[in-house]
Amino acid sequence: MLTIKNLHVNVGDKPILKGINLQINPGEIHAIMGPNGSGKSTLAHILSGKSGYTVTAGSVAYNNKDLIDMAPEIRAREGVFLAFQYPVEIPGVSNIYLLKAALNAIRKHQGLSEVDAMDFLTLVKGKVRLLEMDEKFLYRAVNEGFSGGEKKRNEILQMAILEPRLCILDETDSGLDIDALKIVSEGVNSLRSPDRSFVMVTHYQRLLDYIKPDFVHVLANGQIVKSGGPELALELEEKGYSWLESDQVAA
C-alpha cells in the first residue's frame, strides 16, 4: 500500500527526515514512536501533502502511484487521511457541511453521484454514536471552541465517515482522557480491515494496549533507528530512547 524509500526532507536548508525506509502492506498497523522533534509529524505531513517541505531525495509510492506529486486533496480522495496532532479550527464552516463536502468529493472522484441526504444523515449519526459524541457537535463550526480531546475525537469521526485506506494518526491519544481513549480506540478498531492500513504516531504504550500494532518503529533524528513487534514499545516504555540513539551514534 505504501512504500517509502530513502526519503529525505528539508525545511528550508534544514534536513528533517534523513533517509526513511518503510513498507506498509494492506491491513497492517504500524506504530511510530520517537523523541520530540525527531520528525514524526513531518513524516505525517509529507504523506498528506502539506506545503513548506522539500523532498531532496527518495520516493513515496501509494498504491503504486507517486504520492509526492499528488495535490493534497487528490491524496485525500484516493484514501490518505491524516488525523492531525493539532486539528485546525474553522469558524463558520459546520462539521456536517465539511463532512458532506468531503464525502461528495470522494464520491465524485470515484465516479459516483452525490450522497443521498437521508443516507448521509444515517451514516453520520451512526458514527457519532459509535464515538459517543453529542449530535450537537455536527452543527458546530469545525473544531471551534472544542476541547483538546473533543478535537481529537472529531478527527476520528471524520475518518470513520470518509473510510480512508491509509489512516495516519498523529498523536491522536494525547489530550484524550482515559474513557475517551478507550472510545476512540474502539472506533479505530471498528475500522480495521484487511485492506485498510494505519500509521499511528504516539508517545505512549497506553494507546497500543487498545490498538495492537503489527510493527513498532522508532524514529530518531530523522531516521528509523529500530523496528520491531509490539514488544518494542514495552521496551521503550521501560528504557526510554537514549539507548537507541547512542546505538545509532555508535553504528
Partner 1 sequence: MSTFSASRYTTEYQAIAATLPGQALVWLKELRADALEKFSAHGFPSPREEEWRYTNVSVIEKKLFATVSRETPLPKLQVVDAEWLKSFQLEDTWSVVLIDGHFSAEFSDLDGLPETVSVMGMADALTKQPELLETYLGRAVNNTEHGFIAFNTAWFTDGLFVHVPAKQVLEKPIQVLHIVTQSDVMAITRNVIIIDDMAEARIIESFAGVGDNNYLTAAVTEVFVGRNADHSLYKMQSESEKAYHFGGIYIKQAQDARFTHHNFAFGGLLARSDIHVDLDQASECELNGLYLGVNRQHIDNHTRIYHLKPHASSREIYKGVLGDRARGVFQGRVIVAEDAQKTDSQMNNRNLLLSNEAEADTKPQLEIYADDVKCGHGVTVGQLDEKSIFYLQSRCIDEETARNMLTFAFANEMVDKIKIKSLHDKVLEQVLVRFPQEGVEKSWL
Closer to partner 1 by Cβ: residue 49 or 187: 49
Distance CA 196, CA 219 (A): 23
The option from Mg ion, partner 1, ligand ATP, none interacting with 112 (CB < 5 to 8 A, set by class) reads none
Nearest Cα residue to 138 out of 178, 167, 98: 98
Distance CA 239, CA 111 (A): 51
Identify the residue among 30, 77, 151, 196 touching partner 1 (CB under 8 A): 77
The option from ligand ATP, Mg ion, partner 1, none interacting with 16 (CB < 5 to 8 A, set by class) reads ligand ATP
What is the number of residues in the chain? 251
Segment (H or E) for 126: helix 117-130
CA 92 to chain CA centroid, nearest Å: 25
- Asked if residue 34 lies in contact with residue 240, where contact means CB atoms within 8 angstroms, the answer is no
Identify the residue among 39, 49, 213, 222 touching partner 1 (CB under 8 A): 49
CB-CB neighbours of 196 under 10 Å: 19
Identify the residue among 13, 14, 36, 51 touching partner 1 (CB under 8 A): 51
The option from partner 1, Mg ion, ligand ATP, none interacting with 1 (CB < 5 to 8 A, set by class) reads none
Identify the residue among 2, 9, 29, 41 touching Mg ion (CB under 5 A): 41
Alpha-carbon torsion angle 100, 101, 102, 106, nearest 10: 100
DSSP per-residue string spanning 81-115: EEE-SSPPPEEEEEHHHHHHHHHHHHHHHTTPPPP
236 binds ligand ATP (CB under 6 A): no
Closer to partner 1 by Cβ: residue 158 or 185: 158
The option from Mg ion, ligand ATP, partner 1, none interacting with 11 (CB < 5 to 8 A, set by class) reads ligand ATP
Shortest CB 185 distance to ligand ATP, Å: 20
In the DSSP assignment, the letter for residue 187 is H
C-alpha cell of residue 49: 501533502
Phi, then psi, of 139 in degrees rounded to 5: -100, 0
87 binds ligand ATP (CB under 6 A): no
Identify the residue among 4, 22, 29, 42 touching ligand ATP (CB under 6 A): 42
Q: Which residues bind partner 1 (CB under 8 A)?
A: 48-51, 71-73, 76-77, 81-82, 84, 87-88, 90-93, 96-98, 100-103, 105-106, 109, 141, 158, 162
Q: Which residues bind ligand ATP (CB under 6 A)?
A: 11, 14, 16, 34, 36-42, 52, 85
